Amino acid sequence: MIGYTTLGTNDLQRAADFYDKLAAALGGKRVFANERGIGWGAGRGPMLSVMQPWDGKPATVGNGTMVALATDSREKVDAVHKLALELGAQDEGAAGLRGDRFYGGYFRDLDGNKLVVYCMG
């Protein structure tokens, strides 16, 4: 049902460097790029993109907004969360079990957008 999610950025090149590495760690790659934005995906299906706002105003972080990046193992959650922090992300919650089956690690990207990488089981 989700086609794509877009996060705002004020520095497209910096965001591109960050998300190129995260997408690769999750099995994704760039599926489009233009002068205002870039999108990543894993073939046909949902896509994550970063864009400079169309209205020309600075990108800001949405309060309560979060993007969830699914993966297939706790080990991959740990690795991607660690990679995000190594790339300059801010830790918003160490990778770990929350509830009976949800295993996730939370971080904010270089523009302050909140993400979680997670798996079930």
pLDDT tens readout for residues 5-61? 999 999 999 999 999 999 999 999 999 999 999 999 998 889 999 999 999 999 999
Given pLDDT bands bounded at 50, 70 and 90, which one contains residue 104?
very high
Q: What is the pTM of this model?
A: 0.90
What domains does the chain contain, in order, with CATH numbers?
4-54+61-120 (3.10.180.10)
Record the tokens describing residue 114, joined without a space.
């909140």
| Measured CA distances, 111 to 7, 39, 60, 71, 100 (Å) | 9, 16, 8, 23, 32
Kindly tell me if the per-residue pLDDT of 90 is higher than 90.
yes
Kindly tell me if the per-residue pLDDT of 1 is higher than 80.
no
User: Which pLDDT does position 2 carry in this prediction?
Assistant: 82
Mean pLDDT for all residues in the chain = 95
